[in-house]
Amino acid sequence: MNHNIPDLMKGGTKTDIKIGLSGCKLQLVDNTIKKISPNKSFNNRLVKQAIKQKYFFGSYSNVFTPQVYNIEKNNFIMEYIPGESYSKFFNKCSKNDLDLVLKNLYGYFNEIQNNKKTYNSSIVKNKLKNKLKSLLPSSNYKKFIKFVIKDVENTKFTNISKTFCHGDLSLTNFIFHRNRLYLVDFLDSYIDTFIIDLVKLQQDLHFKWALNAHKSNLRIHQSFNYLWKNIYSKYKKYYDLEFTKIVNILNWLRIEPYLKKEKHKQVLNNIIINLEHYEKFNNSNSR
């Protein structure tokens, strides 16, 4: 979600904006933002999002979120932060700006691990398998999903941290304001671990999903490469986990149902068929 309302308004007159894959509407009202559910089926998800954002407010010293003022069954009202979207920020940022982003993200990941617990391996397996199975009916990658489920069944997942996570830590859900990072569009996750957030950063910085799905330029690509080089170096031990690789697969499969444009579907397909597990899947089928 691009939260920078003024960037999307012509002449400051348009106050209703449909935005993001969910189709939620943002309304600028008296210097607050009203986020409205696109339909009844989304209401419960929106309320969970608002509650998670409200819980997050004031909990961390390195990243922030707009304060939530009121929650209704189909909308919630939050503080308006007049910051910059990721595209505007990365179009003009300096190396110092990028280093500050890294510092804030490192601080965030350190803080959410302060009270971490550890998942039992069987619980991790069940959560991963259940999520994979839920995606089977509507996916074009059914055989691949079944292959990954078997892989999960044969893997022992040890020392997987249970922590808070944003759930959708895509750069499109960042607001850049006065050297601060503000997060929006929190997502209820199928498993609570900061690794979910690391995978979402990988989605944008390494696989460059946002840049492939929208317009971009060389400057933004270079900024993303710089951030990814540093983040991967710092968290390599987590990115190399089998668990993280499975979560990465799930991340792409969860995006699939929302895609309408053929261009986006093709970008997704190119990413999936080049994943390590897809290569194993192909090799197993070619025997």
Once rounded to an integer, what is the mean pLDDT over residues 224-238?
Answer: 98
The CATH label, of 1.10.3470, 3.30.70, 3.30.200, 3.30.420, for the domain at 5-79 is: 3.30.200
What is the 3-class SS of 79-146, one letter each residue? ECCCCECHHHHHCCCCHHHHHHHHHHHHHHHHHHCCCCEECCHHHHHHHHHHHHHHHCCCCCCHHHHH
**Comparison of pLDDT for 122 and 10, the residue scoring more:** 122
Cα torsion angle, 206, 210, 212, 218, sign = negative
Q: Give pLDDT, residue 3.
A: 46
Residues of the chain with pLDDT > 90, as a percent, come to 82
List CB contacts of 36: < 8 A, sequence separation 6 or more: 24, 25, 26, 27, 74, 75
Give ∠ CA 49-50-56 in degrees, rounded to 5. 90
Once rounded to an integer, what is the mean pLDDT over residues 238-251?
Answer: 98
**Domain 5-79 identical in fold to domain 86-285:** no
**What is the rounded distance in angstroms from the CA atom of residue 138 to the CA atom of residue 92?**
40
Identify the bridge partners of residue 161 per DSSP, sorted by sequence position. 118
Question: What would the pLDDT profile of 158-217 be if each residue is shown by its tens digit?
Answer: 999 999 999 999 999 999 998 899 999 999 999 999 999 999 999 999 999 988 877 778
Tokens of 19: 């935005």
**Comparison of pLDDT for 149 and 87, the residue scoring more:** 149
Residue 78 three-state SS: strand
Once rounded to an integer, what is the mean pLDDT over residues 87-107?
Answer: 96
List CB contacts of 28: < 8 A, sequence separation 6 or more: 5, 9, 15, 34, 80
Give ∠ CA 200-204-245 in degrees, rounded to 5. 50
**What is the rounded distance in angstroms from the CA atom of residue 220 to the CA atom of residue 110?**
26
In the predicted structure, residue 246 carries a pLDDT above the cut 60: yes
List CB contacts of 123: < 8 A, sequence separation 6 or more: none
Question: What is the chain's mean pLDDT, rounded?
Answer: 91
Return the residue matching tokens 């197993």: 284
In the predicted structure, residue 81 carries a pLDDT above the cut 50: yes
Q: What global pTM score does this model have?
A: 0.91
Where exactly are the structural domains of the chain?
5-79, 86-285
Contact predicate 32/77, CB 8 Å = yes
**What is the rounded distance in angstroms from the CA atom of residue 41 to the CA atom of residue 60?**
32
Q: How far is CA 240 from CA 40, 220, 272, in A?
A: 40, 26, 17
Return the residue matching tokens 């609570």: 192
Residue 21 — pLDDT band, cuts 50, 70, 90?
Answer: low
Tokens of 236: 């390599």
Q: Is domain 86-285 annotated with CATH 3.90.1200?
A: yes
